[in-house]
A and B are shown apart, each in its own frame.
Chain A
Amino acid sequence: MSGPVVTARNLSRHYESGGGMFKERQVVRALSEASFSIQPGKTLAIVGESGCGKSTLARLITLIEEPTAGDFTINGVEAVPENWDSLRTQVQIVFQDPYGSLNLRHRVGAIIEEPLKIKRPDISAADRADKAREMMAMVGLRPEHYDRFPHMFSGGQRQRIAIARALILEPKLLVLDEPVSALDLSIQSQVLNLLLDLQQSMDLAYLFISHDLSVVRHVADDVVVMYLGRPVERGSKEAVFSAPRHPYTVALLSATPSADPARVRKRIKLEGELPSPLAIPDGCPFAPRCWKAQDRCRAERPLLDDADHAAACFYPENPDDTA
């Protein structure tokens, strides 16, 4: 039994912006105090609306940026810049837009081989090509696609190319940043099935970032709900979807349209919009939009504890449920 693939403790990333001769620099708190861990072969889903910090988290975990506070380990190795070079073979990412993430001037074969060229220069060109073809077969691309260019492929097939490129180094963790939200429904299910098959055969851990709750409900083992850069609820998929605790999770679930015209809608209408990350309110960040907010919520920020199913809320929903 091996330990978790990733363990993150209080990860934060703040950006400084603006500033000038007469203006003070402002701090954008894109991500604050995110803690989680992922076991091999499991999927952790990060859910939230735009601006909640989920893509910033992806950039930290894939070693694109350094956290400004907190730390995390990948396979037990501390992820500090000195170790980045060796860790980068273990974490790979698939981006949302398969039209923007593939180099249009490279052939599919070259795109898939490039990580090997950089990270494994000891492998000969012929072996590299063999490996790439093997990987193409695994993701459901045909051998003749090897010499083609990305523009000859549809969105779903491009996403397969991006997945092949990410997996060629045999990483332990794959970060999926909205992998299916740019795809049509009939193609989306093909890619989701592929991801599930690959996870099983390669024992991959997934950090699955999405705003689509029906997709998350299908693929995730555990779920973290984020709001304004902070995790507000964490728990197993069953617990979060059947007995959500944080009012924001409840509102998010009720706002997601269900493909069932007979369902009785009990929609919680959230007033207003996400506050700017430059001016995050004191106290609970969700308090200005919350229908349960009390004075205490506006003064003091509720913390996320270490329980299996935790919510950063003073007055959680479904409090009796201890699952």
Chain B
Amino acid sequence: MALLNIRNLSVEFATGGGSFRAVDGVDVTVDGGEVLAIVGESGSGKSVSMLAAMGLLPWTATVTADELSFDGRDLRDLSASARRKVIGREISMIFQEPMSSLNPCFTVGFQIREALKQHLKLDSSARKKRALELMEMVGIPAPEKRLTAFPHQLSGGMNQRVMIAMAIACDPKLLIADEPTTALDVTIQAQILDLLTGLQRDTGMGLILITHDMGVVAETAHRVAVQYAGWKVEDQPVETLFDTPHHPYTAALLAALPERATERRLPTIPGVVPGQFDRPQGCLFSPRCAHADDLCRSTVPPVQSAALGRARCHYPLSVPAKEKVQ
């Protein structure tokens, strides 16, 4: 059974201009020990869907789902206090900007111990020992000295390590990393990604990596979900996604990568991601899609089979020969 199982998740925000559907009918499943990457451009709903699963969205959001279960428990009808026992302990999250997610008024040691105090029955000295151990696990040099440092005294990469230490403090079963390396330099990014995948392998936890960087996806993920404008448009193992994308959006996105370019001019996707007031009828990608026809512009496409990457498309690409006959 899957560790996290989300079916038909939708999130609507009440805004001044009416309600806005940020996430629309998204399914997410992660098994223990699996690395799932959720990729998409800004506004694709990749962060919002995970925040919704953790119940961290503000009151303006309405979350609906047919199923939202973690480790066999239904997260939908959990009380706030029961939810807090799960969030931060069994599911934890790290964010993009380590500098702004740490409290500047407390030492990083205090902040790591706070996570332990909140969730585990450890006494003060045991917490101290565990904090030191965690700092060592995430590869911070001279951890005794750094425990008493404030976030502003550490670099971005070190702060992200502290965030990771806090997130894994209670041995979570699932770690959600929301753009964990976007704010960091490439050499530091490589260190942090190695750390995350190493911890994931050692502890056997599930890891959801939210990112927009196709390179990061290719190097770390086992399975990839591609989101576009609140829809999940494709879901495939990483090897096959990069070779045979089935949704035209995934194909266009991969073609637009400069490193895959064969000519001086890059292939582009015309237009922009639809916003609140210009959502098209039918397929959301149809105004930018090279393959779209009248059916795409009028009817919401179905989700194809797993063999076709669960592509949400009327005309998926690279259909295997035997499926065409049926």
Instruction: Please give, as numbers and ranges, the residues of chain B lying within 8 Å of A254 by CB-CB distance.
Output: 190
The listed residue (B190, B258, B266) touching A217 by CB distance below 8 A is: B258
Does residue B185 face the partner (Cβ distance < 8 Å to A)?
yes
Contact A259 B215 (CB under 8 A): yes
The listed residue (B219, B242, B259, B265) touching A265 by CB distance below 8 A is: B219
Q: Which residue of B lies closest to A276 (CB)?
A: B155
Q: Count of chain A residues with Cβ under 8 Å from any Cβ of B?
A: 41
Instruction: Please give, as numbers and ranges, the residues of chain B lying within 8 Å of A193 by CB-CB distance.
Output: 265-266, 268
A245 to B201, CA, bound (A): 34
User: Could you tell me the distance in whole angstroms from the C-beta of A173 to the nearest C-beta in chain B?
Assistant: 21
Instruction: Please give, as numbers and ranges, the residues of chain A lying within 8 Å of B303 by CB-CB distance.
Output: none
Interface-facing stretch out of A24-32, A180-188, A296-304: A180-188
User: Could you tell me the distance in whole angstroms from the C-beta of A290 to the nearest C-beta in chain B?
Assistant: 12
- Mark interface residues in A184-206 (1 if CB within 8 Å of B CB, else 0): 11111110110010000000000
Q: State which residues 255-294 of B face A: CB under 8 Å.
A: 256-261, 264-270, 272-273
User: Could you tell me the distance in whole angstroms from the C-beta of B239 to the nearest C-beta in chain A?
Assistant: 5
Q: Count of chain B residues with Cβ under 8 Å from any Cβ of A?
A: 44
Contact B258 A261 (CB under 8 A): no
A272 to B187, CA, bound (A): 10
Does residue A273 face the partner (Cβ distance < 8 Å to B)?
yes
Q: Which of A50, A154, A218, A261 has the most CB of B within 10 A?
A: A261
User: Could you tell me the distance in whole angstroms from the C-beta of B158 to the nearest C-beta in chain A?
Assistant: 8
Q: Which residue of A lies closest to B256 (CB)?
A: A189
User: Could you tell me the distance in whole angstroms from the C-beta of A237 to the nearest C-beta in chain B?
Assistant: 12
Contact A218 B266 (CB under 8 A): yes
Instruction: Please give, as numbers and ranges, the residues of chain B lying within 8 Å of A260 by CB-CB distance.
Output: 218, 242
Q: Which of A185, A193, A251, A270 has the most CB of B within 10 A?
A: A185
Contact A211 B186 (CB under 8 A): yes
Given contacts A156-B272, A189-B267, contact A49 B218 (CB under 8 A): no
Q: Which residue of A lies closest to B258 (CB)?
A: A218
9 cross-chain pairs, A with B, having the tightest CB-CB distances, nearest first: A257-B215, A218-B258, A49-B185, A184-B41, A189-B266, A255-B190, A186-B269, A259-B214, A189-B256
- Which chain A residues have a beta carbon within 8 Å of chain B's beta carbons? 49-50, 154, 156-157, 184-190, 192-193, 196, 211, 213-215, 217-219, 251-252, 254-263, 265, 267, 269-270, 272-274
Given contacts A196-B265, A265-B219, contact A256 B186 (CB under 8 A): yes
Q: Which residue of B lies closest to A216 (CB)?
A: B258
A219 to B261, CA, bound (A): 11
Q: Which residue of A lies closest to B186 (CB)?
A: A255
Contact A258 B258 (CB under 8 A): no
Contact A189 B187 (CB under 8 A): no
Contact A184 B215 (CB under 8 A): no
Q: Beyond A190-B270, A213-B186, list 5 extra A-B contacts (CB 8 Å).
A: A185-B41, A193-B268, A259-B217, A259-B257, A270-B187
